[in-house]
Amino acid sequence: MDISKILVNIEQGADAELLLEKALRLAEGSGAKVELFCCCYNAALRQSYLFDQASLSKAEQAYQRHVEAELEPLTLPFKQLNIDIDMDVCWQRHPAEAVVRKALRFAPDIVLHQIKQHSRLGHYLFDQSDWQLIRECPVPLLLVKQKVWSDGGHVAAAVDPLHECDRAAALDHRILAWARRMVHALEGDLKVMHSYSVLPHSVIFDEHLVLDFEQMQHTVRTMHIEALSKLLKPYGLTTDNPAVTVKEKEAHRAILEYVDEAHIDILVVGGVTRGLIDRILVGSTIERILDELQADLMVVKPPGFVSSIEEN
């Protein structure tokens, strides 16, 4: 499938210049229709008409028309290139829920969402809407940072082929398929990376295992290479290809290192829903890399994913 519809989430009052540049480049390369979406809400306005619902409704509509007028000039670069573009403004207190519901109605192939730099603690206290969108967005979500893409987009798929779960295997194929779509739209090049870790020598106390440590490392590496080779075969890639990188390191450390070394513009990863307590205590790979990652991050959900947020 090609990219035919792109939803661009614009935060009111935020500098969206680079976000729109990237949306324009994707649309131009894919021929996709673009829709700009802005969720607006003004608590002071609502408080002013708290006991007058009729006046509140009129005030909300007037406020939305004001936001639409602000968005209108943003569509001009798209229209100049004959790209089909539209815009939609809604009044909603919870922006992540509004974006998900819009995605359910509009059925885009991809959602672009600009994120800000914030602390790890801030993930849970101040930017909960970002994380809610990451968890709940039913279509691939491109988290856009303030970093310009290179002329030939460098897109990397981060895969984890050593698993026993068919659902996880299908997710790897979705990651690779979406990475190829982005490469096609950007006229870039596809790269693949995989990381794994083995127990360090210092934590092995069994003398027999110590003697066999090098053999154990070799066995583990062989297993990962064979699994990766099997995954990549349908895509015409091998583990000997310069576009394929394997690192023996913890996933979050390997990804950050790899993105810098390979000058990656977009990293495509899989997003798997986890419990809140587990996230706080352990942290997913996405949470551990997002702030430090010097690239845009595309989060792809596994097949059959259903958001807990329902369309109104």
Q: What is the pLDDT of residues 239-274, one digit of tens each?
A: 999 999 999 988 889 999 999 999 999 999 998 755
For residue range 178-234, list pLDDT tens digits in order. 999 999 999 999 999 999 887 654 545 555 555 576 777 788 888 899 999 999 999
Q: How many Å is the maximal CA-CA distance in the chain?
A: 79
Question: What is the pLDDT averaged over residues 140-161?
Answer: 93
Q: What is the pLDDT of residue 20?
A: 97
Token pair for 197: 């870790």
Which residue type is seen at 167? Answer: R
Phi, psi torsion values for 138, nearest 5 degrees: -80, -10
pTM of the model: 0.88
Return d(Cα 286, Cα 47) in angstroms, integer. 38
Give residue 2's pLDDT: 84
Q: Which pLDDT score, from 0 to 100, does residue 292 have?
A: 86
- Domain boundary assignment for the chain: 5-300
pLDDT of residue 204: 53
Q: 306-311: which pairs have CB atoms within 8 A and are 24 or more residues apart? A: 306/138, 307/100, 307/104, 307/136, 307/137, 307/138, 308/136, 309/97, 309/100, 309/101, 309/104, 309/136, 310/101, 310/104, 311/101, 311/104, 311/105
| CATH class belonging to 5-300 | alpha beta
Output 232-236 pairs: Cβ under 8 A, ≥24 positions apart.
232/176, 232/192, 235/176, 235/180
pLDDT of 279: 44
pLDDT digits (tens, 9 = 90+) for 16-34: 999 999 999 999 999 999 9
